[in-house]
Structure 1
Amino acid sequence: MLEGLPPNNAAHVMRLSCDEATARLVSDVVVETFDPADAAVAAFEEKPSTKDWSGGPWLVEAYFGSAPDEDALRALVAATAGEAAARALTFGRVEARDWVASSLEGLKPVRAGRFVVHGAHSRDEIRDHEIAIEVEAALAFGTGHHGTTRGCLLLLDKVARRRRPRAILDVGTGTGVLAIAAAKLFRRRVECCDIDPVSVATAAENARLNGVSGLVEPVEASGLSHPVLRRGAPYELVFANILAKPLRALAPQIAAASEFGADVILSGLLARDAPGVLAAYRAQGVVLQQRVDIEGWASLLMQKRA
């Protein structure tokens, strides 16, 4: 599981060797606590030949563009995973390219319904019937290993079994995995946006890599006021895989941009945040159809009813 892009060519790193459950807890709390522009997290199981520690089979690596507050991080980990994990943290510096490459080497393709998200190193493992989405190793955010992306892909697969939406929007596209998946599946244009210019460039490059650059052309936008996004409305399918707070704030805009009966797939929220997000959308006439929980993260399939 990887989340975030290394903020600079050289990064400050926090490492923790531990069991899988602790690795997932720690990586999730770092993702939830820090802005993606400031921190990147990788949590993965190391191959036996590369293990050189005694703490456990999993490694968490959190990367920061500037020196983090070590005491604050230890306190955060202690509150989440216990004092032993906090004491086991180590800090240092590393070249960003090194961690991206080494992290992705140990990651297997991720399958969600008919979709598979993979790196270039796993091309030979793709099956004939699968819709493959390749993510460049140097662009690690949103590889599909995070529970939110997997949940959204599973819900997209469900939607596709009953309809073929014509107008599609991906809000907070990240690396563009969801937009690329929809473009490949439906062979339709997918409007997409992100507040971060690095993510916009990343999504555009991944669209080119996956042969859908003519269908996926991300724009930099905060909210849905960009002329390109307005022209595409009303939408029959909307993705918003961001975080709970912006999901709540965007509820009126997303509802207004969705036509009656539209499917709205929301994610990026911890399970405990789901009730607040559901309430915000219910107030806009968008109601829950199905919920998928993966690794403590919730993905919601909603439908506009009013």
Structure 2
Amino acid sequence: MLEGLHPNNPTHVARIVTDEMRARRIADLLGESFDPTETAIAAFEKEDGTAKPPWLVEVYFRTEPDEASVRDLIALAAGPDIEVVFDSFGDKDWVAASLEGLAPVRAGRFTVHGSHDRQHVPANTIGIEIEAALAFGTGHHGTTRGCLLALDDLLKRRRPNRPLDIGTGTGVLAIAAARALRLRVLASDIDPIAIATARNNIRFNKAGAYVESFVARGTTARAMQTNKPFDLVFANILMAPLVRLAAPMSRLLAPGATVILSGLLHAHANAALAAYRAQGLHLIRQIKIDEWTTLVLSYGGGKPRKL
């Protein structure tokens, strides 16, 4: 959420109308390219009464953007034929506007939503309310949704006792585990701002009694070392840090532990998988959503389940 904005301050927006696949690609690339304290991005289906309605991507900027650079990024994500319309206005709360199009996202027993959809959460699901400036970390991004689906599937088969969320971001995965399991969850991130955001979300979602969040780089934090071994680990980050974490993470794991890795483009999944196989983990399941792959791994013992 951006601070220091006033509804009457000029707000700049770029709008793109396209198909669903390209809309998601644009939102993903721009989400990785811009500072979340300066921008907000929403991608959603337009309701125009057609059998296959188009999708709208709206990108809100705190300050006037470099239009040529924005167009170049959009072309990189979706091709040079995409039309981009820039506009500005001064009488609208743009953070709220960026969230209006984000419908609740269902991932098994979990529903991730904004405050504007609080009343639409199904009664038989665990609602997680997150207000984030970007789609990353809200459940609308394929990496987060893949992890939630993996957790939902795991809970149908067994109940973990000691979860750890490395790179917690907005705290969604730690909140989901805490709300479903009603036990202690550790959550770390290298970014103090992310931890501050996660703590706010954890308290708001009534998980403060269960989640211990802290700033940490890697796996050497005292809380991790004194509470190991873990039987469930989330790491929703990116390929390079995931590969670097393979060996040190393996030293935190209990036999039979489930490791859920995400933040991986499809082309990067095999490299991450190879690093973890070398540490004694085997693949249980792959979940592919849009451009992203989530890997579900098991540490030692047992035989891989055929996919």
Instruction: Say if 2:181 is the partner of 1:186.
Output: yes
TM-score after normalising by structure 1: 0.84
2:196 to 187, 198, 201: 201
CA offsets, 1:150-169, max 9 Å, x none?
11111101111222111110
**Distance change in 2, residues 1:265/1:200 (3 Å):** same
Instruction: Say if 2:39 is the partner of 1:44.
Output: no
Q: Alpha-carbon deviation of 1:36?
A: 5.7
Matched-pair identity in %: 50
**Distance change in 2, residues 1:234/1:60 (3 Å):** same
1:139 and 1:202 in contact (8 A); partners too? no
2:74 to 73, 77, 90: 77
1:133 and 1:210 in contact (8 A); partners too? yes
CA distance in 1 between counterparts of 2:108 and 2:185 reads: 20
Instruction: Say if 2:96 is the partner of 1:108.
Output: no
Aligned to 1:60: 57
CA distance in 2 between counterparts of 1:217 and 1:192 reads: 6
How many residue pairs match? The answer is 293
Output the amino acid matched with 1:98. D
Deviates more, 1:267-276 or 1:36-45: 36-45
CA offsets, 1:112-159, max 9 Å, x none?
111111222222222332111121367865111111111111110111
CA offsets, 1:66-94, max 9 Å, x none?
77654444334324322111xx2345667
Q: Alpha-carbon deviation of 1:39?
A: 5.8
Q: Alpha-carbon deviation of 1:193?
A: 0.9
CA distance in 1 between counterparts of 2:286 and 2:176 reads: 20
Aligned-CA RMSD value: 2.8
2:12 and 2:60 in contact (8 A); partners too? yes
CA distance in 1 between counterparts of 2:261 and 2:79 reads: 31
Structure 1, unpaired ranges of 5+: 50-55
Aligned to 1:239: 234
**Distance change in 2, residues 1:274/1:34 (3 Å):** farther
Output the amino acid matched with 1:240. A
CA distance in 1 between counterparts of 2:213 and 2:276 reads: 25
Structure 2, unpaired ranges of 5+: 302-307
TM-score after normalising by structure 2: 0.84
CA distance in 2 between counterparts of 1:6 and 1:195 reads: 20
**Distance change in 2, residues 1:34/1:78 (3 Å):** same
2:268 to 270, 273, 295: 273
**Distance change in 2, residues 1:270/1:193 (3 Å):** same
**Distance change in 2, residues 1:127/1:216 (3 Å):** same
2:115 to 120, 129, 136: 120
CA distance in 2 between counterparts of 1:47 and 1:105 reads: 13
Output the amino acid matched with 2:159. R
Q: Alpha-carbon deviation of 1:106?
A: 2.2
2:42 and 2:102 in contact (8 A); partners too? no
Aligned to 1:172: 167
Aligned to 1:148: 143
Tell me the SS of whatever aligns to 2:21: helix
CA distance in 2 between counterparts of 1:212 and 1:239 reads: 17
